[in-house]
Amino acid sequence: MERATFGAGCFWGVEAEFRRMDGVLSTQVGFMGGTLEGPSYTEVRAGDTGHAEVVEIVFDSSRLDYPRLLARFFECHDPTTLNRQGADVGVQYRSVIFYHSKEQRAAAVEARSGVERSGRYRDPVVTEIARAGRFYRAGEYHQQYLAKRELA
């Protein structure tokens, strides 16, 4: 089992994207990358903590490899909008890959470079690649939000 952590805008939809993948064992949404310890959703949403809304994924690497997770990450959001996804604006909605090993970091750099070279986007890819820090789990209300409401 391995972990992967991605920020790609509002974590509700991002989590739903990854939960559907064969080989994903579990997901949870929360916050990472900021300075405030134990942030609440309200604090992160205000945009002053530096945290991003993220989904943490536990996956079976014998069934699903990390590059495939990276491909889904780049498919499920616009990696060219700085601190924004659709109507959600702020550093908490940034495009970010938090890596858990040097192998994940190398794969993330390679995937981002591939997306940049692909010509898929006119604007530059602004996805941040950063070492994973402490994950702060969001409240139960936010976990599998869309699935609980039969929206995903």
Residues involved in catalysis: 10
Between strands 52-59 and 2-8, the pairing is antiparallel
Q: Give the C-alpha separation, 148 to 144, whole Å.
A: 6
Q: Are 57 and 19 in contact (CB under 8 A)?
A: no
What's 51-118 look like in SS3?
CEEEEEEEECCCCCCHHHHHHHHHHCCCCCCCCEECCEECHHHCEEEEECCHHHHHHHHHHHHHHHHH
Using alpha carbons only, how large is the chain's radius of gyration in Å?
Answer: 14
Other CB atoms within 10 Å distance of the CB of residue 105? 17
